[in-house]
A and B are shown apart, each in its own frame.
Chain A
Amino acid sequence: MLASVASAVLQGIDGHHVRVEVHVAGGLPAFTVVGLPDASCRESRDRVRAAVLSAGFRFPPERVTVNLAPTNLRKHGPVLDLPIALALLVASGQLDHESVAGAAFLGELGLDGSVRRIVGALPLAEVLADRPLVVPLDDLDEVRLVVPAARGAASLRALVESLRGTSPWPEPDPEPRRGRVTAGPGWSPDLADVHGHPIGRLAVEVAAAGGHHLLLVGPPGAGKTMLAERLPGILPDLSESQALEVARVRSAAGAEVGPGEHPRGLHRRPPFRSPHHTASVVALVGGGSRVLRPGEISLATGGVLFLDELGEFPAAHLDALRQPLESGVVDVVRAAVSARLPARFLLVGATNPCPCGFAPAPRCRCGPAQLQRYSRRLSGPVLDRFDLRVRLDSPDPASLFGGQGGAESSAGVQRRVAAARERATSRGVPANRALRGAALETHAPLTDEAVRLLRDRLGRGRLTVRGSQRLRAVALTLLDLSGAEAPIGADDLLVAECLRAQDALPGGPA
């Protein structure tokens, strides 16, 4: 008469336990779902009914009440179809209580009784890892990354037979399915393709090593996008916990999760996201009125967020990035739901120096008013987040056709980056950008000459106090990359200053 099974629903990128209770009792036939289901969840009734009949079971001509506990948590989506159907079979005496006792189920049902893929299988499975778990067969590879003992179900009928022990549990097709043979979230082209651009290459390397946000300014076709796309390729592999976080976000966003490069392993390459400038704030930051979906900044966590044509992004969108850039998380709050999503990404912006794209003067056709308006598009606080600002001109033609094997490959650069990151880890931070105040004094001491240089810049108003700290952090990253030891000399600061050039900014003198 009464049966209940365990399941879970997604909120943001986290799974939450849900107990599905089904009560079947005398009365005129009715099928009601209570416990704060939203419209998509209430539709389960019709799918479950059709699936139960298609699978060859009886739908009880009685009063069926489904309760989804806890009743204060809003449930959405079709993931509870399968647990509702199983509890219904138990409550109507068509399946032994013992065969589902203690187990948890996740899955959407088709009208034909098939069990379909769900969104967020990985984070949902994580909260149910402490018990026997059954998920859609198509999600089993993904779920086994976190719950190796999970079972798969292809259809309601077959699942019931497996639960009764009359047929074996199905295993996923060992051949990768069509459309799933992807390069993964972090595939990146090689730096060896980039000829010329010594400053650009250095900037990309420093950005990767120190976690410094990077702004590339240059005319169209100079190679800004080309360089940015190669940045994830020189970042070190993600750690287990970072890879898991990336997988969690991707799963909750309905994207391909894995297994990754290693058999039965997570994708270890850092993600690269480049949303177009017409993206909405919600698409960038995450949100939605009822169902919270992770945005681009969360999908870029652990990797690179590339904003091409930075000046074309509405100011409100860029300002929305400021808080996540500082804290590494974004709290998305709506009237009905709220969630904390990760947002630790390396920001790379690209922009033209002026509306026509070809500043400075001889080639530039823009008037002074146009230039001024263009420079105002990027607010001071946003520009201040970029530790590295580099002017990228079309490369010297000689370097383009210089011959064979001129440019270093990503693999070589990656080794230096990994070594630099290790040094940062020994200082207690993931990358030098995170060094602040006292930690900077300890780990980035200056020579007397360097102190004099900083005093001079501060005194002439060419640097803010915060700017001087960023400069020190970048200089420390330069030392790390060359394998040298602190203290930081004046030369190092001058190189860092070149990489943080004020005059590279759009609308400024170039």
Chain B
Amino acid sequence: MVAYDSARLGRHGEDRVARWYEERGYRVLERNWRCDLGELDLILARGDDVVVCEVKTRSTTRFGHPLEAVGPDKQRRLRALAARWREGAPFRPNSLRIDVAAVLGGRITVVEHAC
């Protein structure tokens, strides 16, 4: 039950963040893109500018702010994943940016150029 709830919460957060980007003129290229290194939550593009976004969703701050969950190791992994995606990208992006989005109790915080 717990796993199911947290998965649903995560999916809900990703939906909200995807909509947040769409409102700002982005289109969603991929959701939950996977490779042997792991998974990217959202890949978005506005023109040829690509954004890779890690979404963290929490209902409380009991275990800290969701942004704090993206530590140095996770940041390193995000950079590796973004590079891997770029190798097989369907087009050559003009720029590639990594964002981290936090969804906490319905509030969305997006940190651009997070790493």
Contacts and interface: CB of A to CB of B under 8 A. Distances in A.
A403 interface: no
A26 B111 CA distance: 7
Interface stretch (B4-12, B15-23, B33-41, B64-72): B64-72
B115 interface: yes
A29 to B, nearest CB: 5
Nearest to B68: A29
B114 interface: yes
A82 to B, nearest CB: 24
A148 interface: no
Most chain B CB atoms below 10 A, which of A27, A28, A29: A28
A61 interface: yes
A32 to B, nearest CB: 12
Contacts of A61: 65, 67-68, 102, 109
Interface string B96-107: 000010100000
Interface in A12-57: 26-29
Contacts of B100: 28
A29 B65 contact: yes
Nearest to B112: A26
A354 to B, nearest CB: 68
Nearest to A27: B111
- Please tell me the size bucket of the interface on A: under 10
A61 B101 CA distance: 12
A27 B114 CA distance: 6
Interface string A47-79: 000000000000001000000000000000000
Contacts of A26: 111
B79 to A, nearest CB: 13
Contacts, number: 18
B13 to A, nearest CB: 16
Nearest to A60: B65
A27 B100 CA distance: 9
B115 A28 contact: yes
Contacts of A29: 65, 67-68
Q: For A26, A27, A29, which residue has the most chain B Cβ atoms within 10 angstroms?
A: A29
Contacts of A28: 67, 70, 75, 100, 111, 114-115
Contacts of B70: 28
Interface in B81-115: 100, 102, 109, 111, 114-115
A441 to B, nearest CB: 75
Contacts of B75: 28
A83 B82 CA distance: 40
Contacts of B109: 61
B103 to A, nearest CB: 13
Contacts of B111: 26-28
Nearest to B69: A29
B68 to A, nearest CB: 5
A29 B68 CA distance: 5
B50 to A, nearest CB: 20
A28 B65 CA distance: 11
Nearest to A62: B67
A29 B100 CA distance: 11
A92 B7 CA distance: 33
Contacts of A27: 111, 114
Interface in B36-61: none
Contacts of B67: 28-29, 61
Interface string A266-282: 00000000000000000
Nearest to B75: A28
Nearest to B113: A27
Interface in A476-506: none
Interface string A363-406: 00000000000000000000000000000000000000000000
Nearest to B70: A28
B104 to A, nearest CB: 9
Nearest to B110: A26
Contacts of B115: 28
A26 B67 CA distance: 11
B53 to A, nearest CB: 13
B34 to A, nearest CB: 23
A61 B114 CA distance: 13
A28 B98 CA distance: 12
Nearest to B114: A28
B105 to A, nearest CB: 13
B101 to A, nearest CB: 11
Contacts of B102: 61
Nearest to B100: A28
Nearest to B65: A61
B73 to A, nearest CB: 12
A127 to B, nearest CB: 37
A28 B73 CA distance: 13
Contacts of B68: 29, 61
Nearest to B104: A61
B35 to A, nearest CB: 23
A29 B102 CA distance: 12
A54 to B, nearest CB: 15
6 contacts: A26-B111, A28-B100, A28-B115, A29-B67, A61-B65, A61-B109
Q: Considering the complex of A and B, which 7 residue pairs feature the smallest CB-CB distances, nearest first?
A: A61-B65, A29-B68, A61-B67, A29-B67, A28-B114, A28-B70, A28-B111
Given A26-B111, A28-B100, A61-B109, 11 more contacts: A27-B111, A27-B114, A28-B67, A28-B70, A28-B75, A28-B111, A28-B114, A29-B65, A29-B67, A61-B67, A61-B68
